[in-house]
Amino acid sequence: MSDSATVERMPGAGLWLLARCRAVQLRNLVDQHLRGAPGRTFFVLVLLVLIWAALYLLLAQILKHVHSWGLVGVVADQHLFVHFFLVLAVMLTFSNAILTFGSLYGREEAGFLLGMPLRAREVVVVKWFEGIALSSWSFLLLGVPLMLAIAHSTPVQWYYYPLFLGHFLGFVAIPACLGLLAAWTVAMWAPRRPLTIVIATGCLVILTAIYWLSNISDSALKSEEWLQVVFKQIGIVKQPLLPSTWTAKGIVSAMRQDVGQSLFYLLVVLGNGAFLSWLTVNILGRSWPEAYSRAQRGRLQPTIRRGWFTKVVCWGLFFYLPKKLWLAMLKDLRGFARDARQWSQMLIMFGLLVIYVLNLRRMPVDLDNPQFKGLVAFLNLTTVSLILATFTSRFVYPLLSLESQQLWLIELLPIRRSTLLFVKFLFALTVTGLSACAVMGLAVKMLELPTAYAWMNVSICLGICVGLSGLSIGLGARFPVLNNRNPARIASGFGGTLNLIVSMVFVSLEMAGVGWLTFNEMSKSFMFSKALSPGGWLMVAGLLSVSMLVGAGALWIGARHFERLET
């Protein structure tokens, strides 16, 4: 009665079926977007291209500046790439680990696949491939602008392009495998506290970073020693034989038209990637069912205490609000405090930033040189803004969708809907503003920026917080997702993507202005003038008004839609 004769299919047949299933899903997705909302899709694509262009310009500017330092620039290239790929590897490993933990050990798809007569190895290979594909997105987003920016600042031959592509794509296999292995380790041995593991690993990364920074330089540096330290530092990075180093060297060789050396490093990276992939697929292919079963033990649910702490914090931060709004705020604050995913990401990101800022003086960069100082201050603000943009898109944006799903509840409260919107905005602004200004304040103090520049940095940072919070709340109310309660899904829908893109464009715009300010004001005198020029002040005022306008405009659009939303 059953077709048991067919069970011994050719090995790999399941792989083909799974791959085809993915392809059909992808086709349906594209089809749905193209047919259902061609205008929206087009709009998102245009904005993506804009971001991409902004990134290209930013990178090209940085490289141009670095190269204008002459001999130092030659060394700095390698230095830059080593760190770029190291950071990229860490980020890709983290994101792959989190994603595969959900997809291989979560309740949904994994359980379904495990119940079918598929080989575990076939499923694992498909997940491996998905990891690679996902990581390869980073090439499209970051790699291509970087590749073109390098080509713009250095004369290159045609073979530089295929070599760069090969290096980048060969490299991403390694973090993809590391992510799979990390998720597997957690599922096998610590399935009850996946979040704790993520936080602990984050802390470990931070500690390594501290150790690293304190290792590079043990004393305050004079400018002449800088070059030596850079050499020494590259020496240190070289020694552990990290894949990021091989890729960086391979790309630098390709830039310098040394094809042989570049190919050599490419083979090293590919060989290691292939070996690691083989290992990963074999380990996971053997033990995936066991790991899945182990991961199904429930997560530990902490019991909630009475919440006096959040009450005190809420009172401290929002004592000025009327009682009704204060209560609405307390609800949001508690939601935030009890969702560790939200603040732990903020904490890790800003923790890293604080450590970096505290170590600014020990960096192998000559901070007495106003040009360096300006560049570092500019990069600080850019980093903080980008982190804020990802945070608001991922965590602030879904707030309004979740709230819209329980509008009937809001209707019972004696609060106007737009007031509620404003409360959420205030909440987002307080969280982002406090953390960002703390970090930026510390950074300008460590950099010993002149007062005018310090105020400029902090106030523009605050302006960016206003703009980003307004965008996420406003667009969140304008494009609410009403059929899904998963914040990650809400954030990755159309409105969420739009919000992320608009936020990025907004940040790029602001940073372009700040960049103009910093470099213009400095290059005139080759040092910081005491105060900003009238043109400079005008620019600051312009940037701040853009922030206010963007924030207020988005809030207005959102509030209008939110008021009219049917219960």
Ligand X SMILES: Nc1ncnc2c1ncn2[C@@H]1O[C@H](COP(=O)(O)OP(=O)(O)O)[C@@H](O)[C@H]1O
Enumerate binding residues for another protein (CB under 8 A): 1-4, 6-7, 9, 14, 17, 21, 24-26, 28-29, 32, 107-109, 111-112, 114-119, 192, 289-290, 292-293, 296-298
Rounded Cα distance between 452 and 376, Å, is: 16
We find the least distance from the C-beta atom of residue 317 to another protein, in angstroms, to be 38
Tell me phi and psi for residue 120, to 5 degrees: -55, -40
Which of 47, 66, 46 has the alpha carbon at shortest distance from 58?
66
* Chain position whose Cβ is nearest to ligand X: 298
Q: Give the one entry of another protein, ligand X, none that residue 21 binds, where binding means its C-beta sits below a cut-off of 5 to 8 angstroms depending on kind.
A: another protein
Nearer to another protein by Cβ, of 28 and 228: the residue is 28
Tell me phi and psi for residue 529, to 5 degrees: -75, 160
Query: Taking CB under 6 A as the rule, does residue 534 contact ligand X?
Result: no
Is-contact 420 517, C-beta < 8 A?
A: no
Q: List binders of ligand X among 68-127 (CB under 6 A).
A: none
Rounded Cα distance between 339 and 414, Å, is: 27
Q: List binders of ligand X among 283-322 (CB under 6 A).
A: 296-298
Rounded Cα distance between 460 and 514, Å, is: 8
Angstrom distances, CA of residue 378 to CA of 131, 223, 516: 33, 21, 10
Which of 509, 120, 426 has the alpha carbon at shortest distance from 292?
120
Helix spans in 296-321 (H): 308-318
We find the least distance from the C-beta atom of residue 191 to ligand X, in angstroms, to be 10
Q: List binders of ligand X among 460-479 (CB under 6 A).
A: none
Nearer to ligand X by Cβ, of 299 and 416: the residue is 299
We find the least distance from the C-beta atom of residue 118 to ligand X, in angstroms, to be 23
Nearer to another protein by Cβ, of 17 and 437: the residue is 17
Rounded Cα distance between 509 and 162, Å, is: 32
Nearer to another protein by Cβ, of 382 and 401: the residue is 401
Rounded Cα distance between 266 and 272, Å, is: 10
Nearer to ligand X by Cβ, of 102 and 335: the residue is 102
Quote the tokens at residue 345: 């990401």
Q: What is the DSSP letter of 360?
A: G
Nearer to ligand X by Cβ, of 27 and 299: the residue is 299
We find the least distance from the C-beta atom of residue 297 to ligand X, in angstroms, to be 5
We find the least distance from the C-beta atom of residue 286 to ligand X, in angstroms, to be 23
Nearer to another protein by Cβ, of 21 and 37: the residue is 21
Q: Give the one entry of another protein, ligand X, none that residue 119 binds, where binding means its C-beta sits below a cut-off of 5 to 8 angstroms depending on kind.
A: another protein
Rounded Cα distance between 58 and 80, Å, is: 14
We find the least distance from the C-beta atom of residue 196 to ligand X, in angstroms, to be 17
Question: Locate tokens 């409105």: which residue?
Answer: 495
For residue 70, how far is the Cα from the chain centroid? Answer: 32
We find the least distance from the C-beta atom of residue 296 to ligand X, in angstroms, to be 5
Q: Give the one entry of ligand X, another protein, none that residue 115 binds, where binding means its C-beta sits below a cut-off of 5 to 8 angstroms depending on kind.
A: another protein
Nearer to ligand X by Cβ, of 94 and 292: the residue is 292
Q: Give the one entry of another protein, ligand X, none that residue 111 binds, where binding means its C-beta sits below a cut-off of 5 to 8 angstroms depending on kind.
A: another protein
Rounded Cα distance between 63 and 42, Å, is: 31
331, amino acid identity:
K
We find the least distance from the C-beta atom of residue 303 to another protein, in angstroms, to be 16
| Interface residue list for ligand X (CB under 6 A) | 296-298
